[in-house]
Amino acid sequence: MSSKNIIVGVPKEIYGGEMRVALVPKMISSLKRLGQDIVIEKGAGNRAFFSDEEYEQAGAGVAPNAAQLYAEADIIVKINPPQENMDEEKHEVEMMKQGCTYIGFLNPTKKPDVIRRMIEKTITGFDMEYMPRIARAQSMDILSSMSSIAGYRAVIIAAQYLGKFFPLMMTAAGTIPPVRVMILGAGVAGLQAIATARRLGASVEAFDVRPAVREQIESLGAKCIGLDAIETVETIGGYTKRVSDEFLESEREIIDSRIVHHDVVITTAKAFGENAPVLITDGMVRRMKKGAVIVDIAADQGGNCELTVAGKNIEKYGITICGVINLPATFPVDGSILYSKNMTNFITNLYKTKDGTFDFEDEITRSTCITYQGKIVNKAIKKTIQKEE
Ligand code: NAD
């Protein structure tokens, strides 16, 4: 391995339930073309069915443990925010080289301690959650790739808990009608949920506050509900802005009038920088058909259903409510492939300058950079973290 090359290190993900790996063997050659050498931690890809041998055949080195990987790497490519590594009895940031670069998720407002540790070690941190929703960034948009997985998985989970067939079934014992599915929020996850439910043969209705999504909903074969009653909703960088309380009240009335007809409700509604709005109240759940299933994808952001418990499946009034979190973690093969393709595109853009410096004129680099040269460079995050001190 040439000593002048930058070394990209891929540690094993240690967050509970995580099965993905941040870089799959197929992406190694693209990074090598950028003049980077890749080292993975032994067994990093095992849970996603990518063996150490495949990485070696693709030209990567294999470090025997996390401590050695962190000691070698100039760039750490990861999925989940750095945390305490119990095997090494060290925090992942502690194991990183002084002044190295971290690329992955950081969840900075919820994990300010990690940001403080990174500042102390002058680690440059890029958070994929802050990817701008612009056309040029689409190929690097990990959030969207992972939301697609979540939308798909949510429907599969609903099918697992529902005691009914999804499609129309004509049997010798009679005809069973297709299940009725309602999707709340037709962004990335919602549209994928619509497409998946339709593929399984369900009759689907969807609701969103952005009139622009009507065409997308209908092109997937679903019925758009409630939009006629809706005034224009503002968006910021492709994301919906928070709607008023009065607006939410009338929205809940529309949902209330429809929810009683549905067997499955998948909720994905979320406005930019806000907690998920409550769209399904206790009263609505009480009025739903017995045996119905709600899968609340927005559970990690507070939930769209008043009764959702994040990370738990509960039953109330005969309705199963799944407060699903980190669904992409349970989808290791395609989850890793999509993650690493987006990540490789991001790294290629990040290291496009000939001298290896970061181009902060580039909106993608600027928006995703959280820490640089011992400082928090994202103003909103700096303000939130300082407020807590
Ligand atoms: P997105 O921004 O693409 O879609 C959100 C949609 O909600 C937008 O179309 C927006 O217009 C709509 N919306 C906003 N306010 C609404 C309201 N009051 N009523 C109806 N619709 C409203 O986001 P996404 O990438 O599809 O993610 C959706 C949610 O899923 C987020 O909360 C995200 O954190 C969560 N998510 C969870 C998992 C998981 O594993 N559970 C994985 C990925 C994403």
pLDDT digits (tens, 9 = 90+) for 150-207: 999 999 999 999 999 999 999 999 999 999 999 999 999 999 999 999 999 999 999 9
* Active-site residue flag, 199: no
Nearest-CA neighbor of 112 among 98, 97, 127, 99? 127
Residue 148 CB less than 6 A away from ligand 1: no
The string of pLDDT tens digits covering residues 94-148 is: 999 999 999 999 999 889 999 999 999 999 999 999 999 899 999 999 999 999 9
CB-based contact 364:353 (threshold 8 Å): no
Question: Which of 157, 268, 279, 330 to mutate to test ligand 1, by most ligand atoms within 8 A of the CB atom?
Answer: 268
**What pLDDT sits at residue 354?**
74
Per-residue confidence (pLDDT) for residue 228, from 0 to 100: 63
Q: Is 144 a catalytic residue?
A: yes
Query: Which of 105, 147, 305, 339 best tests ligand 1's pocket when mutated (most atoms within 8 Å of CB)?
Result: 147
Task: Supply the residue whose CA is at minimum distance from atom 28 of ligand 1.
Answer: 268
To the query of whether residue 52 is one of the catalytic residues in this protein, the response is: no
Q: CA nearest 334: which of 80, 49, 122, 118?
A: 49
Rounded average pLDDT over 351-356: 82
**Using one digit for the tens of pLDDT, what is the confidence trace for 252-296?**
999 999 999 999 999 999 987 788 999 999 999 999 999 999 999
Q: Is the CB of 326 under 6 A from ligand 1?
A: yes
Question: At residue 316, what is the residue type?
Answer: K
Q: Which of 36, 47, 116, 239 is catalytic?
A: 239
User: Does residue 300 have its Cβ closer than 6 Å to ligand 1?
Assistant: yes
- Which of the following is catalytic: 29, 51, 138, 160? 138
- Nearest atom in ligand 1 to the alpha carbon of residue 191 is 26
Residue of 37, 141, 208, 263 marked active site: 141
Q: How far apart are CA 37 and CA 27, in angstroms?
A: 12
d(CA 54, CA 52): 5
Please name every residue paired with 180 in a beta bridge, in sequence order, or none if there are none: 203
Tell how far the Cα of 189 is from the centroid of ligand 1, in angstroms. Answer: 7
**Environment class of 91 (CB within 10 Å of its CB; exposed 0-12, middle 13-18, buried 19+):** middle
pLDDT of residue 260: 97
188 lines ligand 1 (CB under 6 A): yes
Tokens at 284, concatenated: 């609505």
Whether 208 is in the pocket of ligand 1, judged by its Cβ within 6 Å, is yes
Amino acid 231: pLDDT: 58
pLDDT (average), residues 54-72: 97
Question: How does pLDDT run across 294-305, given as a tens digit for each residue?
Answer: 999 999 999 999
Report which of 238, 210, 217 is spatially closest to residue 138, judged by C-alpha positions: 238
CA of 129 to the centre of ligand 1 (A): 13
Q: Which of 7-16, 19-28, 202-211 has the lowest mean pLDDT?
A: 202-211
Nearest Cα residue to atom 41 of ligand 1: 325
Judge whether 14 and 74 are in contact, CB under 8 Å: no
The alpha carbon of 201 is separated from its chain's Cα centroid by a whole number of angstroms, namely 26
Top-confidence residue, 301 or 354: 301
The band of 384, judged by pLDDT with boundaries at 50, 70 and 90, is: confident
Question: 286: Cβ–Cβ under 8 A, 6 or more apart, which residues?
Answer: 317
Single-letter code of the amino acid located at 131: M
CA of 384 to the centre of ligand 1 (A): 23
CA distance 151 to 186: 10
Question: Cα 273 to chain center, whole Å?
Answer: 15
Is residue 239 among the annotated active site residues?
yes
Interior angle at CA 14, CA 358 and CA 345, nearest 5: 30
Q: 240, 243, 267, 339: which to mutate for ligand 1, most atoms within 8 A of CB?
A: 240
For the Cβ of 277 lying below 6 angstroms from any atom of ligand 1, the answer is yes
> H/E element holding 193?
helix 188-199
C-alpha closest to that of 61 among 91, 90, 25, 26: 25
Ligand 1 centroid, distance to 325 Cα (angstroms):
13
How do beta strands 319-322 and 313-316 pair?
antiparallel
Instruction: Answer yes or no: 141 catalytic.
Output: yes
